[in-house]
Structure 1
Protein backbone atom coordinates (compact mmCIF):
# COMPACT_ATOMS: atom_id res chain seq x y z
CA UNK A 1 0.00 0.00 0.00
CA UNK A 2 1.32 3.43 -0.94
CA UNK A 3 2.58 5.47 2.02
CA UNK A 4 -0.04 8.23 2.30
CA UNK A 5 -0.29 10.98 4.85
CA UNK A 6 -2.02 14.32 5.18
CA UNK A 7 -2.02 17.75 6.76
CA UNK A 8 -5.50 18.60 8.02
CA UNK A 9 -5.79 22.11 9.51
CA UNK A 10 -8.98 23.89 10.50
CA UNK A 11 -9.30 27.23 8.64
CA UNK A 12 -10.18 29.16 11.79
CA UNK A 13 -7.00 31.20 12.10
CA UNK A 14 -3.44 31.62 10.82
CA UNK A 15 -0.91 28.82 10.64
CA UNK A 16 1.89 29.16 13.19
CA UNK A 17 5.28 27.49 13.57
CA UNK A 18 3.71 24.39 15.10
CA UNK A 19 1.55 23.92 12.02
CA UNK A 20 4.58 24.46 9.81
CA UNK A 21 6.48 21.72 11.62
CA UNK A 22 3.60 19.24 11.34
CA UNK A 23 2.92 19.98 7.68
CA UNK A 24 6.60 19.87 6.65
CA UNK A 25 7.20 16.65 8.59
CA UNK A 26 4.20 14.89 7.03
CA UNK A 27 5.14 16.16 3.57
CA UNK A 28 8.79 15.15 3.85
CA UNK A 29 8.01 11.70 5.25
CA UNK A 30 5.63 11.02 2.38
CA UNK A 31 8.07 12.23 -0.26
CA UNK A 32 10.97 10.27 1.27
CA UNK A 33 8.86 7.10 1.07
CA UNK A 34 7.83 7.81 -2.53
CA UNK A 35 4.29 8.23 -1.26
CA UNK A 36 1.42 10.69 -1.33
CA UNK A 37 0.79 13.84 0.72
CA UNK A 38 -2.77 15.18 0.89
CA UNK A 39 -4.23 18.47 2.12
CA UNK A 40 -7.57 18.45 3.91
CA UNK A 41 -9.48 21.38 5.41
CA UNK A 42 -11.32 20.27 8.52
CA UNK A 43 -13.94 22.98 8.33
CA UNK A 44 -17.04 21.40 9.87
CA UNK A 45 -17.11 24.30 12.34
CA UNK A 46 -19.12 26.43 9.94
CA UNK A 47 -19.22 29.48 12.22
CA UNK A 48 -15.48 29.81 12.84
CA UNK A 49 -14.12 28.51 9.52
CA UNK A 50 -13.49 31.34 7.05
CA UNK A 51 -12.56 31.29 3.35
CA UNK A 52 -9.85 33.88 3.96
CA UNK A 53 -8.09 31.53 6.39
CA UNK A 54 -8.47 28.67 3.92
CA UNK A 55 -6.76 30.79 1.26
CA UNK A 56 -4.04 31.93 3.69
CA UNK A 57 -3.26 28.33 4.66
CA UNK A 58 -2.83 27.32 1.03
CA UNK A 59 -0.65 30.38 0.37
CA UNK A 60 1.56 29.70 3.40
CA UNK A 61 2.02 26.02 2.56
CA UNK A 62 2.86 26.86 -1.03
CA UNK A 63 5.39 29.44 0.14
CA UNK A 64 6.97 26.78 2.38
CA UNK A 65 7.56 24.74 -0.76
CA UNK A 66 5.05 21.98 0.02
CA UNK A 67 3.07 20.28 -2.72
CA UNK A 68 0.11 17.96 -2.31
CA UNK A 69 -1.42 15.28 -4.46
CA UNK A 70 -4.89 15.85 -5.85
CA UNK A 71 -7.48 18.45 -4.92
CA UNK A 72 -7.91 19.88 -1.44
CA UNK A 73 -10.66 18.00 0.41
CA UNK A 74 -13.00 20.27 2.37
CA UNK A 75 -15.22 18.56 4.90
CA UNK A 76 -17.89 21.23 4.59
CA UNK A 77 -18.44 20.17 0.98
CA UNK A 78 -19.23 16.55 1.87
CA UNK A 79 -21.18 16.70 5.12
CA UNK A 80 -23.69 14.06 4.05
CA UNK A 81 -20.88 11.52 3.59
CA UNK A 82 -20.63 11.12 7.37
CA UNK A 83 -24.30 10.26 7.92
CA UNK A 84 -23.82 6.52 7.49
CA UNK A 85 -21.49 6.39 10.49
CA UNK A 86 -23.92 8.19 12.80
CA UNK A 87 -26.74 5.88 11.65
CA UNK A 88 -24.60 2.80 12.25
CA UNK A 89 -23.62 3.95 15.75
CA UNK A 90 -27.24 4.80 16.54
CA UNK A 91 -28.31 1.33 15.38
CA UNK A 92 -25.80 -0.11 17.86
CA UNK A 93 -27.43 1.99 20.62
CA UNK A 94 -24.18 3.89 21.15
CA UNK A 95 -25.46 7.47 20.88
CA UNK A 96 -27.47 9.65 23.22
CA UNK A 97 -28.74 13.23 22.98
CA UNK A 98 -27.17 15.97 25.09
CA UNK A 99 -28.53 19.44 25.76
CA UNK A 100 -25.82 20.55 28.20
CA UNK A 101 -24.19 23.94 27.86
CA UNK A 102 -20.50 24.44 28.55
CA UNK A 103 -21.32 26.24 31.81
CA UNK A 104 -23.46 23.30 32.98
CA UNK A 105 -20.67 20.87 32.24
CA UNK A 106 -18.07 22.98 34.04
CA UNK A 107 -20.34 23.37 37.06
CA UNK A 108 -20.77 19.60 37.29
CA UNK A 109 -17.08 18.77 37.00
CA UNK A 110 -14.90 18.05 40.00
CA UNK A 111 -11.36 19.38 40.22
CA UNK A 112 -9.43 18.85 36.97
CA UNK A 113 -7.63 15.51 36.76
CA UNK A 114 -3.89 15.50 36.22
CA UNK A 115 -2.98 14.67 32.65
CA UNK A 116 -6.50 15.14 31.28
CA UNK A 117 -6.30 17.32 28.18
CA UNK A 118 -9.94 18.26 27.89
CA UNK A 119 -13.11 18.41 29.98
CA UNK A 120 -14.37 14.85 30.43
CA UNK A 121 -18.14 14.98 30.13
CA UNK A 122 -19.74 14.25 33.55
CA UNK A 123 -22.66 12.28 32.09
CA UNK A 124 -25.53 14.64 32.88
CA UNK A 125 -27.59 13.42 29.88
CA UNK A 126 -26.29 9.86 29.75
CA UNK A 127 -29.63 8.42 30.84
CA UNK A 128 -31.49 9.88 27.86
CA UNK A 129 -32.68 7.62 25.02
CA UNK A 130 -32.38 8.72 21.40
CA UNK A 131 -36.16 9.09 21.26
CA UNK A 132 -35.90 12.05 23.64
CA UNK A 133 -33.70 14.05 21.28
CA UNK A 134 -34.89 17.61 20.73
CA UNK A 135 -33.88 20.31 18.27
CA UNK A 136 -30.56 21.72 19.35
CA UNK A 137 -29.31 18.58 21.10
CA UNK A 138 -25.85 17.25 20.38
CA UNK A 139 -25.16 13.51 20.06
CA UNK A 140 -22.58 11.88 22.31
CA UNK A 141 -20.89 8.50 22.13
CA UNK A 142 -21.93 6.19 24.99
CA UNK A 143 -18.41 4.99 25.64
CA UNK A 144 -19.32 2.36 28.25
CA UNK A 145 -21.60 0.55 25.82
CA UNK A 146 -19.08 0.92 22.99
CA UNK A 147 -16.30 -0.67 25.04
CA UNK A 148 -18.61 -3.46 26.20
CA UNK A 149 -19.17 -4.54 22.59
CA UNK A 150 -15.52 -5.59 22.32
CA UNK A 151 -16.01 -8.12 25.14
CA UNK A 152 -12.48 -7.55 26.37
CA UNK A 153 -10.82 -7.86 22.94
CA UNK A 154 -10.11 -4.14 22.65
CA UNK A 155 -8.73 -2.76 19.37
CA UNK A 156 -5.10 -1.80 19.00
CA UNK A 157 -3.00 0.52 16.86
CA UNK A 158 0.63 1.01 15.93
CA UNK A 159 2.46 4.20 16.91
CA UNK A 160 5.80 5.27 15.40
CA UNK A 161 6.21 8.65 17.12
CA UNK A 162 9.22 9.37 19.32
CA UNK A 163 7.45 9.18 22.70
CA UNK A 164 4.93 6.39 22.24
CA UNK A 165 6.45 4.05 19.64
CA UNK A 166 5.08 0.54 19.67
CA UNK A 167 1.80 -1.35 19.63
CA UNK A 168 -0.98 0.01 21.82
CA UNK A 169 -4.13 -1.80 22.87
CA UNK A 170 -6.98 0.44 23.97
CA UNK A 171 -7.13 0.72 27.75
CA UNK A 172 -10.85 1.02 28.64
CA UNK A 173 -10.28 2.54 32.08
CA UNK A 174 -7.94 5.16 30.69
CA UNK A 175 -10.35 5.95 27.83
CA UNK A 176 -13.19 6.49 30.28
CA UNK A 177 -11.12 8.60 32.66
CA UNK A 178 -9.25 10.75 30.14
CA UNK A 179 -11.67 11.10 27.21
CA UNK A 180 -15.20 10.01 28.11
CA UNK A 181 -18.38 10.48 26.08
CA UNK A 182 -17.26 12.78 23.28
CA UNK A 183 -19.62 14.74 21.04
CA UNK A 184 -20.00 13.15 17.60
CA UNK A 185 -22.62 15.52 16.20
CA UNK A 186 -22.82 19.12 17.29
CA UNK A 187 -25.76 20.91 18.81
CA UNK A 188 -28.39 22.22 16.43
CA UNK A 189 -26.40 21.51 13.25
CA UNK A 190 -26.49 17.75 12.66
CA UNK A 191 -22.86 18.14 11.55
CA UNK A 192 -20.44 15.43 12.54
CA UNK A 193 -17.74 16.63 14.94
CA UNK A 194 -13.96 16.38 14.69
CA UNK A 195 -13.35 12.96 16.23
CA UNK A 196 -15.57 11.13 13.78
CA UNK A 197 -15.14 13.26 10.65
CA UNK A 198 -11.34 13.13 10.84
CA UNK A 199 -11.27 9.37 11.33
CA UNK A 200 -13.72 8.74 8.49
CA UNK A 201 -11.77 10.96 6.10
CA UNK A 202 -8.50 9.25 6.96
CA UNK A 203 -10.09 5.96 5.90
CA UNK A 204 -11.82 7.41 2.82
CA UNK A 205 -8.60 9.05 1.61
CA UNK A 206 -6.50 5.93 2.13
CA UNK A 207 -4.29 7.53 4.77
CA UNK A 208 -1.75 4.94 5.89
CA UNK A 209 0.12 7.17 8.37
CA UNK A 210 -1.55 9.88 10.47
CA UNK A 211 1.14 12.39 11.41
CA UNK A 212 0.14 14.98 14.02
CA UNK A 213 1.09 16.52 17.37
CA UNK A 214 1.55 14.48 20.53
CA UNK A 215 -1.20 16.52 22.20
CA UNK A 216 -3.66 14.40 20.20
CA UNK A 217 -2.25 11.04 21.28
CA UNK A 218 -4.96 10.37 23.89
CA UNK A 219 -7.73 11.13 21.39
CA UNK A 220 -6.38 8.46 19.07
CA UNK A 221 -8.04 5.90 21.34
CA UNK A 222 -11.50 7.30 20.56
CA UNK A 223 -10.85 7.35 16.82
CA UNK A 224 -9.52 3.79 16.89
CA UNK A 225 -12.60 2.70 18.84
CA UNK A 226 -14.89 4.37 16.31
CA UNK A 227 -13.11 2.80 13.34
CA UNK A 228 -13.20 -0.63 14.96
CA UNK A 229 -16.93 -0.29 15.71
CA UNK A 230 -17.54 0.61 12.06
CA UNK A 231 -15.26 -2.21 10.83
CA UNK A 232 -12.89 0.23 9.14
CA UNK A 233 -9.10 -0.13 8.69
CA UNK A 234 -6.93 1.56 11.30
CA UNK A 235 -3.92 3.58 10.06
CA UNK A 236 -0.50 3.82 11.65
CA UNK A 237 -0.04 6.88 13.88
CA UNK A 238 2.97 9.14 14.37
CA UNK A 239 2.57 11.75 17.10
CA UNK A 240 5.42 14.21 16.90
CA UNK A 241 6.86 16.67 19.40
CA UNK A 242 5.21 20.05 19.81
CA UNK A 243 6.67 23.45 19.02
CA UNK A 244 6.47 25.53 22.19
CA UNK A 245 6.90 29.16 23.15
CA UNK A 246 9.63 30.54 25.41
CA UNK A 247 7.63 29.47 28.49
CA UNK A 248 7.25 25.90 27.29
CA UNK A 249 3.60 26.28 26.34
CA UNK A 250 2.45 24.74 23.07
CA UNK A 251 1.52 27.20 20.35
CA UNK A 252 -2.12 27.93 19.53
CA UNK A 253 -3.82 29.91 16.80
CA UNK A 254 -4.01 32.91 19.10
CA UNK A 255 -0.19 33.06 18.94
CA UNK A 256 -0.17 35.48 16.04
CA UNK A 257 3.37 36.51 16.98
CA UNK A 258 4.53 33.14 15.64
CA UNK A 259 2.24 33.08 12.62
CA UNK A 260 3.96 32.02 9.40
CA UNK A 261 2.53 35.08 7.66
CA UNK A 262 4.29 37.34 10.19
CA UNK A 263 7.65 35.71 9.59
CA UNK A 264 7.08 36.00 5.84
CA UNK A 265 6.30 39.71 6.18
CA UNK A 266 9.51 40.19 8.15
CA UNK A 267 11.57 38.64 5.35
CA UNK A 268 12.14 35.10 6.64
CA UNK A 269 12.78 32.36 4.09
CA UNK A 270 11.23 28.88 3.99
CA UNK A 271 14.65 27.46 4.89
CA UNK A 272 14.75 29.68 7.99
CA UNK A 273 11.31 28.44 9.04
CA UNK A 274 12.60 24.86 8.81
CA UNK A 275 15.54 25.83 11.01
CA UNK A 276 13.28 27.53 13.56
CA UNK A 277 11.27 24.33 14.05
CA UNK A 278 14.31 22.07 14.19
CA UNK A 279 14.21 20.60 10.71
Structure 2
Protein backbone atom coordinates (compact mmCIF):
# COMPACT_ATOMS: atom_id res chain seq x y z
CA UNK A 1 0.00 0.00 0.00
CA UNK A 2 1.17 3.52 -0.73
CA UNK A 3 -0.72 6.52 0.63
CA UNK A 4 0.09 10.17 0.18
CA UNK A 5 -0.43 13.70 1.43
CA UNK A 6 -0.48 16.28 -1.36
CA UNK A 7 -0.90 19.81 0.03
CA UNK A 8 -0.89 23.09 -1.87
CA UNK A 9 1.63 25.61 -0.39
CA UNK A 10 -0.52 28.71 -0.79
CA UNK A 11 -0.25 29.65 2.88
CA UNK A 12 0.50 28.03 6.20
CA UNK A 13 -1.28 24.77 6.97
CA UNK A 14 -4.33 24.93 9.24
CA UNK A 15 -5.97 22.35 11.47
CA UNK A 16 -7.96 20.86 8.59
CA UNK A 17 -4.79 20.28 6.55
CA UNK A 18 -3.03 18.66 9.52
CA UNK A 19 -6.09 16.50 10.17
CA UNK A 20 -5.96 15.18 6.59
CA UNK A 21 -2.21 14.66 6.80
CA UNK A 22 -2.40 12.75 10.07
CA UNK A 23 -5.29 10.48 9.08
CA UNK A 24 -3.77 9.70 5.67
CA UNK A 25 -0.52 8.80 7.47
CA UNK A 26 -2.27 6.61 10.03
CA UNK A 27 -4.36 4.85 7.38
CA UNK A 28 -1.31 3.99 5.27
CA UNK A 29 0.81 2.90 8.22
CA UNK A 30 -2.02 0.90 9.82
CA UNK A 31 -2.10 -1.15 6.63
CA UNK A 32 1.67 -1.64 6.72
CA UNK A 33 2.21 0.69 3.78
CA UNK A 34 4.25 3.73 2.80
CA UNK A 35 3.22 7.36 3.10
CA UNK A 36 4.67 9.86 0.63
CA UNK A 37 4.55 13.63 0.39
CA UNK A 38 3.96 15.57 -2.82
CA UNK A 39 3.78 19.36 -3.09
CA UNK A 40 0.98 20.52 -5.39
CA UNK A 41 2.38 23.88 -6.47
CA UNK A 42 0.88 24.09 -9.97
CA UNK A 43 -0.40 27.62 -9.27
CA UNK A 44 2.90 29.50 -9.53
CA UNK A 45 1.27 32.79 -8.52
CA UNK A 46 -0.16 31.62 -5.17
CA UNK A 47 2.28 28.87 -4.16
CA UNK A 48 5.50 30.13 -2.59
CA UNK A 49 8.77 28.37 -1.78
CA UNK A 50 8.70 29.73 1.76
CA UNK A 51 5.28 28.13 2.31
CA UNK A 52 6.62 24.79 1.04
CA UNK A 53 9.59 24.96 3.42
CA UNK A 54 7.31 25.83 6.35
CA UNK A 55 4.97 22.99 5.45
CA UNK A 56 7.79 20.43 5.57
CA UNK A 57 8.98 21.78 8.90
CA UNK A 58 5.46 21.71 10.40
CA UNK A 59 4.93 18.07 9.38
CA UNK A 60 8.26 17.05 10.91
CA UNK A 61 7.41 18.96 14.11
CA UNK A 62 4.29 16.81 14.35
CA UNK A 63 6.39 13.68 13.80
CA UNK A 64 4.98 12.89 10.35
CA UNK A 65 8.04 11.85 8.36
CA UNK A 66 7.30 10.86 4.79
CA UNK A 67 8.85 7.75 3.24
CA UNK A 68 10.24 9.74 0.31
CA UNK A 69 12.22 11.94 2.74
CA UNK A 70 15.46 13.14 1.15
CA UNK A 71 18.37 14.25 3.32
CA UNK A 72 20.21 15.61 0.28
CA UNK A 73 17.46 18.06 -0.65
CA UNK A 74 16.46 19.07 2.85
CA UNK A 75 13.36 16.92 3.05
CA UNK A 76 11.89 16.47 -0.42
CA UNK A 77 13.58 16.06 -3.79
CA UNK A 78 12.48 18.03 -6.84
CA UNK A 79 10.50 15.31 -8.61
CA UNK A 80 7.86 15.51 -5.87
CA UNK A 81 7.04 19.15 -6.65
CA UNK A 82 4.35 19.47 -9.31
CA UNK A 83 5.98 22.63 -10.65
CA UNK A 84 8.84 20.40 -11.87
CA UNK A 85 6.64 17.78 -13.53
CA UNK A 86 5.25 19.51 -16.63
CA UNK A 87 6.83 16.94 -18.97
CA UNK A 88 4.63 14.19 -17.49
CA UNK A 89 1.51 16.31 -17.82
CA UNK A 90 2.37 17.22 -21.42
CA UNK A 91 2.68 13.53 -22.31
CA UNK A 92 -0.74 12.82 -20.79
CA UNK A 93 -2.31 15.87 -22.43
CA UNK A 94 -0.87 14.87 -25.83
CA UNK A 95 -2.32 11.37 -25.47
CA UNK A 96 -5.79 12.78 -24.80
CA UNK A 97 -5.42 15.07 -27.83
CA UNK A 98 -4.38 12.11 -30.01
CA UNK A 99 -7.56 10.32 -28.92
CA UNK A 100 -9.64 13.29 -30.11
CA UNK A 101 -10.90 14.05 -26.62
CA UNK A 102 -9.68 17.65 -26.19
CA UNK A 103 -11.11 20.89 -27.55
CA UNK A 104 -10.64 24.65 -27.15
CA UNK A 105 -12.98 26.51 -24.83
CA UNK A 106 -13.16 30.30 -25.05
CA UNK A 107 -15.80 30.83 -22.36
CA UNK A 108 -15.07 33.30 -19.58
CA UNK A 109 -15.95 32.66 -15.96
CA UNK A 110 -18.93 34.97 -16.35
CA UNK A 111 -20.08 32.94 -19.38
CA UNK A 112 -19.94 29.74 -17.34
CA UNK A 113 -22.01 31.07 -14.47
CA UNK A 114 -24.58 32.72 -16.71
CA UNK A 115 -25.27 29.47 -18.58
CA UNK A 116 -28.50 27.66 -17.92
CA UNK A 117 -26.74 24.36 -17.21
CA UNK A 118 -27.31 22.78 -13.79
CA UNK A 119 -24.68 23.19 -11.10
CA UNK A 120 -22.46 20.54 -9.59
CA UNK A 121 -22.65 19.68 -5.90
CA UNK A 122 -19.66 21.91 -5.12
CA UNK A 123 -21.38 24.97 -6.58
CA UNK A 124 -19.40 25.09 -9.82
CA UNK A 125 -21.32 25.18 -13.10
CA UNK A 126 -21.62 22.06 -15.23
CA UNK A 127 -20.31 23.09 -18.61
CA UNK A 128 -22.92 23.25 -21.37
CA UNK A 129 -20.58 22.11 -24.14
CA UNK A 130 -20.95 25.46 -25.91
CA UNK A 131 -17.50 25.39 -27.52
CA UNK A 132 -17.35 21.67 -28.29
CA UNK A 133 -18.47 21.97 -31.93
CA UNK A 134 -17.11 25.37 -32.99
CA UNK A 135 -16.04 25.65 -36.60
CA UNK A 136 -12.47 26.62 -37.50
CA UNK A 137 -13.62 30.06 -38.61
CA UNK A 138 -15.46 30.61 -35.33
CA UNK A 139 -12.38 29.56 -33.37
CA UNK A 140 -10.18 31.84 -35.45
CA UNK A 141 -12.33 34.85 -34.57
CA UNK A 142 -12.37 33.94 -30.88
CA UNK A 143 -8.57 33.51 -30.77
CA UNK A 144 -8.28 37.23 -31.45
CA UNK A 145 -10.16 37.94 -28.20
CA UNK A 146 -8.73 35.45 -25.72
CA UNK A 147 -6.63 32.33 -25.40
CA UNK A 148 -8.68 29.18 -24.87
CA UNK A 149 -8.67 26.68 -22.04
CA UNK A 150 -8.61 23.01 -23.00
CA UNK A 151 -11.55 20.77 -22.07
CA UNK A 152 -11.94 17.02 -22.24
CA UNK A 153 -15.05 15.51 -23.82
CA UNK A 154 -17.01 13.61 -21.19
CA UNK A 155 -19.12 10.67 -22.30
CA UNK A 156 -22.77 10.07 -21.48
CA UNK A 157 -22.42 7.18 -19.08
CA UNK A 158 -22.50 6.38 -15.38
CA UNK A 159 -19.46 6.14 -13.15
CA UNK A 160 -19.36 4.63 -9.68
CA UNK A 161 -16.83 3.79 -7.00
CA UNK A 162 -16.93 2.40 -3.49
CA UNK A 163 -15.58 4.93 -1.02
CA UNK A 164 -13.73 3.30 1.86
CA UNK A 165 -15.66 5.43 4.36
CA UNK A 166 -18.89 6.65 2.71
CA UNK A 167 -19.69 3.60 0.60
CA UNK A 168 -21.03 3.48 -2.96
CA UNK A 169 -20.96 6.73 -4.96
CA UNK A 170 -22.61 7.13 -8.37
CA UNK A 171 -22.47 9.88 -10.97
CA UNK A 172 -23.89 10.41 -14.47
CA UNK A 173 -20.82 11.91 -16.11
CA UNK A 174 -22.17 14.25 -18.78
CA UNK A 175 -25.07 15.45 -16.60
CA UNK A 176 -23.22 15.82 -13.28
CA UNK A 177 -19.69 16.71 -14.44
CA UNK A 178 -19.85 17.99 -17.98
CA UNK A 179 -16.72 18.54 -20.07
CA UNK A 180 -14.07 19.79 -17.66
CA UNK A 181 -10.87 21.81 -18.01
CA UNK A 182 -7.59 19.90 -18.13
CA UNK A 183 -5.39 22.85 -19.11
CA UNK A 184 -6.03 26.47 -18.27
CA UNK A 185 -5.81 29.34 -20.75
CA UNK A 186 -2.51 30.44 -19.15
CA UNK A 187 -0.96 27.06 -20.04
CA UNK A 188 -0.99 25.61 -16.53
CA UNK A 189 -2.39 22.10 -16.22
CA UNK A 190 -5.46 21.49 -14.09
CA UNK A 191 -5.44 19.86 -10.68
CA UNK A 192 -7.57 17.02 -12.07
CA UNK A 193 -5.06 16.04 -14.74
CA UNK A 194 -1.94 16.52 -12.60
CA UNK A 195 -3.20 14.56 -9.60
CA UNK A 196 -4.14 11.56 -11.74
CA UNK A 197 -0.82 11.50 -13.58
CA UNK A 198 1.15 11.86 -10.35
CA UNK A 199 -0.79 9.31 -8.33
CA UNK A 200 -0.56 6.79 -11.17
CA UNK A 201 3.15 7.27 -11.85
CA UNK A 202 4.04 7.38 -8.15
CA UNK A 203 2.19 4.15 -7.41
CA UNK A 204 -0.30 5.72 -5.01
CA UNK A 205 -3.07 3.19 -4.34
CA UNK A 206 -4.75 4.79 -1.33
CA UNK A 207 -6.07 8.38 -1.33
CA UNK A 208 -7.34 9.87 1.95
CA UNK A 209 -8.78 13.40 1.77
CA UNK A 210 -11.76 15.58 2.72
CA UNK A 211 -15.26 14.66 1.56
CA UNK A 212 -15.47 17.95 -0.38
CA UNK A 213 -13.39 16.14 -3.02
CA UNK A 214 -15.76 13.20 -3.49
CA UNK A 215 -17.16 14.75 -6.68
CA UNK A 216 -13.62 15.25 -8.04
CA UNK A 217 -13.08 11.51 -7.80
CA UNK A 218 -15.37 11.01 -10.81
CA UNK A 219 -13.29 13.41 -12.94
CA UNK A 220 -10.18 11.56 -11.88
CA UNK A 221 -11.56 8.07 -12.53
CA UNK A 222 -12.57 9.22 -16.01
CA UNK A 223 -9.01 10.42 -16.64
CA UNK A 224 -7.56 7.16 -15.30
CA UNK A 225 -9.61 5.36 -17.95
CA UNK A 226 -8.76 7.69 -20.84
CA UNK A 227 -5.03 7.76 -19.95
CA UNK A 228 -4.93 3.95 -19.84
CA UNK A 229 -3.94 3.80 -16.18
CA UNK A 230 -5.39 0.51 -14.98
CA UNK A 231 -4.27 0.49 -11.33
CA UNK A 232 -6.93 2.56 -9.53
CA UNK A 233 -6.45 3.80 -5.96
CA UNK A 234 -8.86 3.10 -3.13
CA UNK A 235 -10.46 6.39 -2.06
CA UNK A 236 -11.31 7.24 1.55
CA UNK A 237 -13.02 10.55 2.22
CA UNK A 238 -13.11 12.28 5.57
CA UNK A 239 -15.76 14.42 7.26
CA UNK A 240 -14.80 18.08 7.15
CA UNK A 241 -13.68 20.10 10.15
CA UNK A 242 -15.86 23.21 10.44
CA UNK A 243 -15.60 26.40 12.45
CA UNK A 244 -18.23 27.26 15.06
CA UNK A 245 -20.35 29.08 12.45
CA UNK A 246 -20.23 26.18 9.99
CA UNK A 247 -17.51 27.44 7.65
CA UNK A 248 -14.81 25.14 6.31
CA UNK A 249 -11.47 25.91 7.91
CA UNK A 250 -9.33 28.23 5.81
CA UNK A 251 -5.72 29.38 5.70
CA UNK A 252 -7.11 32.84 6.46
CA UNK A 253 -8.32 31.61 9.88
CA UNK A 254 -5.25 32.39 11.95
CA UNK A 255 -6.68 30.80 15.11
CA UNK A 256 -6.37 27.36 13.50
CA UNK A 257 -3.13 27.72 11.54
CA UNK A 258 0.03 25.91 12.53
CA UNK A 259 1.61 29.04 13.96
CA UNK A 260 -1.17 29.29 16.54
CA UNK A 261 -1.33 25.53 17.07
CA UNK A 262 2.39 25.17 17.73
CA UNK A 263 2.34 28.04 20.19
CA UNK A 264 -0.52 26.50 22.16
CA UNK A 265 -0.15 22.72 21.86
CA UNK A 266 2.53 20.08 21.79
CA UNK A 267 2.62 17.66 18.88
CA UNK A 268 1.14 14.89 21.05
CA UNK A 269 -1.64 17.17 22.29
CA UNK A 270 -2.53 18.06 18.71
CA UNK A 271 -2.53 14.41 17.61
CA UNK A 272 -4.84 13.54 20.51
CA UNK A 273 -7.15 16.48 19.71
CA UNK A 274 -7.52 15.36 16.08
CA UNK A 275 -8.18 11.72 17.04
CA UNK A 276 -10.82 12.96 19.52
CA UNK A 277 -12.49 15.26 16.98
CA UNK A 278 -12.79 12.51 14.37
CA UNK A 279 -14.15 9.96 16.85
CA UNK A 280 -11.26 7.52 17.35
CA UNK A 281 -11.01 8.24 21.09
CA UNK A 282 -13.77 9.12 23.53
CA UNK A 283 -11.96 11.80 25.55
CA UNK A 284 -9.30 14.29 24.58
CA UNK A 285 -5.81 13.28 25.66
CA UNK A 286 -2.23 13.50 24.42
CA UNK A 287 -1.19 10.67 22.10
CA UNK A 288 2.12 9.67 20.56
CA UNK A 289 2.07 8.57 16.92
CA UNK A 290 2.45 4.96 18.09
CA UNK A 291 -0.56 5.33 20.38
CA UNK A 292 -2.51 7.03 17.58
CA UNK A 293 -1.81 4.05 15.32
CA UNK A 294 -3.16 1.67 17.94
CA UNK A 295 -6.50 3.53 18.24
CA UNK A 296 -6.98 4.56 14.60
CA UNK A 297 -9.95 2.73 13.08
CA UNK A 298 -12.01 3.73 10.03
CA UNK A 299 -15.07 2.21 11.70
CA UNK A 300 -14.81 4.78 14.50
CA UNK A 301 -14.40 7.86 12.30
CA UNK A 302 -17.48 10.05 12.11
CA UNK A 303 -19.40 10.52 8.88
CA UNK A 304 -20.98 13.86 9.78
CA UNK A 305 -18.83 16.97 9.55
CA UNK A 306 -17.16 18.01 12.79
CA UNK A 307 -17.52 21.39 14.50
CA UNK A 308 -14.34 22.42 16.29
CA UNK A 309 -15.76 25.41 18.14
CA UNK A 310 -13.01 25.54 20.76
CA UNK A 311 -9.34 24.65 20.59
TM range (shorter): 0.7 to 0.9
> Once the 2 structures are TM-superposed, how far is the Cα of residue 171 of structure 1 from its aligned partner?
3.1
When residues 41 and 253 of structure 1 are mapped into structure 2, their CA distance, relative to the original with a 3 A threshold, is same
CA distance in 1, matches of 2:220, 2:212: 14
2:171 maps to: 171
TM-score scaled to structure 1, two decimals? 0.85
Q: Does 1:96 align with 2:103?
A: yes
Could you list the runs of 5+ residues in structure 2 that have no partner in the other structure? Answer: 70-75, 281-311
TM-score scaled to structure 2, two decimals? 0.77
2:213 maps to: 216
2:82 maps to: 75
- The 3-state SS of whatever aligns with 1:43 is coil
CA distance in 2, matches of 1:87, 1:101: 24
> Once the 2 structures are TM-superposed, how far is the Cα of residue 116 of structure 1 from its aligned partner?
4.0
2:129 maps to: 123
Which fold has the larger relative contact order, with Cα–Cα distance below 8 Å and residues 6 or more apart in sequence?
Answer: 1
CA distance in 1, matches of 2:115, 2:159: 31
User: Contact conserved, 1:117 with 1:178, CA < 8 A, in 2?
Assistant: no
User: Contact conserved, 1:97 with 1:130, CA < 8 A, in 2?
Assistant: no
CA distance in 2, matches of 1:4, 1:216: 19
User: Contact conserved, 2:28 with 2:35, CA < 8 A, in 1?
Assistant: yes
Larger Rg: 2
CA distance in 2, matches of 1:79, 1:155: 28
- The 3-state SS of whatever aligns with 2:129 is coil
2:149 maps to: 138
User: Contact conserved, 1:139 with 1:187, CA < 8 A, in 2?
Assistant: yes
RMSD: 2.3
1:254 maps to: 252
Query: What does the per-residue CA deviation read over 1:90-115, in whole Å, with 9 as the maximum and x for residues that have no partner?
Result: 122211112222223223356x7483
* Structure 2 counterparts to residues 199-238 of structure 1, below 5 A: 199-232=196-229, 233-238=231-236
Query: What does the per-residue CA deviation read over 1:164-201, in whole Å, with 9 as the maximum and x for residues that have no partner?
Result: 224x5x532xx333322221011122x32100100111
> Once the 2 structures are TM-superposed, how far is the Cα of residue 64 of structure 1 from its aligned partner?
1.1
CA distance in 2, matches of 1:106, 1:258: 32
Q: Does 1:37 align with 2:35?
A: yes
CA distance in 1, matches of 2:105, 2:30: 45
2:305 maps to: none
CA distance in 1, matches of 2:112, 2:123: 15
CA distance in 1, matches of 2:124, 2:222: 18
CA distance in 1, matches of 2:63, 2:246: 28
CA distance in 2, matches of 1:181, 1:272: 45
- The 3-state SS of whatever aligns with 2:182 is strand
